[in-house]
Chain A
Amino acid sequence: MQNRWNSLFLLAAVLLGAAWTATAADPAYRLLGKTAPDFALRGTSGANFRLSEHRGDVVAVAFWGSRCGTCGAQLGTLSRLVDTYQSAGLAALAVNVDDDQSAAASFAVAHPVSFPVLLDPGKTVARQYRVDNLPMLLLIDRSGAIRYVHRNHRSGSDAQYLEQIRVLLDE
């Protein structure tokens, strides 16, 4: 009898713990719904890129690092989406936050993408965007407001990106 009570109590504690973790682990992103701060960065190609030049497009900004395990997968997904929806007004910018620019360049060579890869070694843009996890993906609507944020890349993320990008492209 005592064992049954112990198991029940343990089960309740585990469920409560899970609920607390789920609510506390993903704090609200402060810039959600606000205008995305403008920035200009140098790309790995040598050219400079400015976010505000894409006003009117739906823009995906992906922050990544060469040591991040799932960043390559996220960039690959994004590259496929850009290939499909570029003509409908989808643009993407990948912002690398590595201190070592050569590591970023070699990673970019190993994971070729169809959009500009920008370098932010000083992390000024990452700070502006309050990047607290890698990879981090922001979806910006045609008016320049941050509408969706993803602080991780999971197995079901591809479908989520597609769904949200379609919503923004249809506006």
Chain B
Amino acid sequence: MNRSNKIWTAWLVILAIAAMAATHVAMAAEPAKSLSGTDALAPAPAAATAPAAPGADATAAGTPGEPATDAQAPVAAPDTRALDEEIQSIKKDVVDLNRDLFVLEEELLFPANTQVAVFLSMDVGEFFALDTVELRVDDKQVTKYLYTPREAEALLKGGVQRLYLGNLRVGNHELVALFTGKGPNGQDYSRGAQLKFEKAVGAKYLELKISDRQRKRQPEFEIKDWE
């Protein structure tokens, strides 16, 4: 074997080793990716302190992705109270900051001069089971909301939902609300309500109100302007 052949052999061996190493790294990449997400999101002692899920046996404790082990737990125990208090304090600060940020964001995105908010409330609901509400402002769809049974139940218990928050310039506008759901005898039911209103300087609040008209045994849909 001459010198150039030896060099070729050496190169090929290096290439083969590099290829095998790359394959190995690539195969390990997906679990590592998931674990990095786990590490970033889950506090280290969570696995040790959280109650075990029913059916989760001892093998679950040894699964990859759980940073804490039984051997490490007693060592970390003395500092946990102070650490816990610090965590709670930081959590409270984060919640406060988040609230302030939310208020500031709303003030910036929806200034009082152009703000329009539409709320939805339901009363009784014997003749109508709400499924969806579509809102159109000046013939343009601004929101379409699908209600789950729990949300409809919350509305029936007296909840008021802010369905839409947006901006409108000063002047005359038209709001159209389309309601779909189940009617008095369980059949599909669709109705609309319309309101022409004038937007002045200052925030505008409108309420969509669904109530039962007992005399006609039919639901009633109205849009109320909160002056």
Listed in ascending order, the chain A residues whose CB lies under 8 Å from chain B are 5, 8-9, 11-12, 15-16, 18-20, 22-23, 26, 28, 32-33, 40-42, 47-50, 53, 84-85, 87-89, 141, 143, 145, 147-148, 163-164, 166-167, 169-171
Among candidates B40, B60, B64, residue contacting A170 with C-beta atoms closer than 8 Å: B60
Check B16 against A22 for contact (C-beta < 8 Å). Answer: no
Instruction: Across the interface, name the chain A residue whose C-beta is closest to B149.
Output: A47
CB-CB under 8 A from B220, the residues of chain A are none
Residue B22 is within 8 A (CB to CB) of chain A in the complex: yes
What is the interface of chain B mostly: helix, strand, loop, or mixed? helix
CB-CB under 8 A from A26, the residues of chain B are 29-30
Closest 3 CB pairs of A and B: A15-B19, A19-B22, A88-B53
Check B56 against A166 for contact (C-beta < 8 Å). Answer: yes
- What separation, in Å, do the CA atoms of A12 and B52 have in the docked complex? 48
Instruction: Across the interface, name the chain B residue whose C-beta is closest to A84.
Output: B55
CB-CB under 8 A from A32, the residues of chain B are 33-34, 37
Check A19 against B26 for contact (C-beta < 8 Å). Answer: yes
Q: Given contacts A53-B148, A169-B56, is CB(A48)–CB(B131) below 8 Å?
A: yes
- What separation, in Å, do the CA atoms of A50 and B40 have in the docked complex? 27
Q: Given contacts A33-B37, A171-B50, is CB(A19)–CB(B146) below 8 Å?
A: no
- What separation, in Å, do the CA atoms of A33 and B147 have in the docked complex? 28
When each residue 1-41 of chain B gets 1 if its CB lies under 8 Å from chain A and 0 otherwise, what string results?
00001001100100110111011011101100110011011
Residue B80 is within 8 A (CB to CB) of chain A in the complex: no
CB-CB under 8 A from A41, the residues of chain B are 146
Check B65 against A23 for contact (C-beta < 8 Å). Answer: no
CB-CB under 8 A from B64, the residues of chain A are 163
Listed in ascending order, the chain B residues whose CB lies under 8 Å from chain A are 5, 8-9, 12, 15-16, 18-20, 22-23, 25-27, 29-30, 33-34, 37-38, 40-42, 46-47, 50, 52-56, 60, 63-66, 131, 145-151
Q: Given contacts A18-B23, A147-B38, A170-B47, is CB(A53)–CB(B12) below 8 Å?
A: no
Among candidates B23, B30, B41, B63, residue contacting A15 with C-beta atoms closer than 8 Å: B23
Q: Give me 11 other A-B pairs in contact (C-beta within 8 A), A8-B12, A16-B22, A19-B19 excluded.
A: A15-B20, A22-B27, A26-B30, A40-B147, A41-B146, A48-B147, A147-B34, A147-B37, A166-B56, A167-B38, A170-B56
Q: Given contacts A40-B148, A48-B149, is CB(A143)–CB(B55) below 8 Å?
A: no
Q: Given contacts A8-B12, A145-B41, A171-B46, is CB(A166)–CB(B53) below 8 Å?
A: yes
- What separation, in Å, do the CA atoms of A148 and B32 have in the docked complex? 11
Q: Given contacts A12-B12, A15-B16, A32-B37, is CB(A167)–CB(B65) below 8 Å?
A: yes
Check B23 against A12 for contact (C-beta < 8 Å). Answer: no
CB-CB under 8 A from B146, the residues of chain A are 40-42, 48, 50
Instruction: Across the interface, name the chain B residue whose C-beta is closest to A169.
Output: B53
- What separation, in Å, do the CA atoms of A89 and B26 have in the docked complex? 33
Check B151 against A164 for contact (C-beta < 8 Å). Answer: no
CB-CB under 8 A from A166, the residues of chain B are 53, 56, 60, 63
A144 to chain B, nearest CB (A): 10
- What separation, in Å, do the CA atoms of A26 and B32 have in the docked complex? 13
Check B66 against A170 for contact (C-beta < 8 Å). Answer: yes
Chain B CB within 10 Å, residue with most, of A26, A53, A170:
A170
A46 to chain B, nearest CB (A): 9
- What separation, in Å, do the CA atoms of A84 and B148 have in the docked complex? 26
B141 to chain A, nearest CB (A): 14
- What separation, in Å, do the CA atoms of A23 and B38 have in the docked complex? 22
- 22 cross-chain CB contacts under 8 A: A9-B12, A15-B16, A15-B19, A16-B15, A16-B19, A20-B22, A23-B25, A32-B34, A48-B147, A48-B149, A87-B54, A89-B53, A148-B34, A148-B37, A166-B53, A167-B63, A167-B65, A167-B66, A169-B53, A169-B56, A170-B56, A171-B46
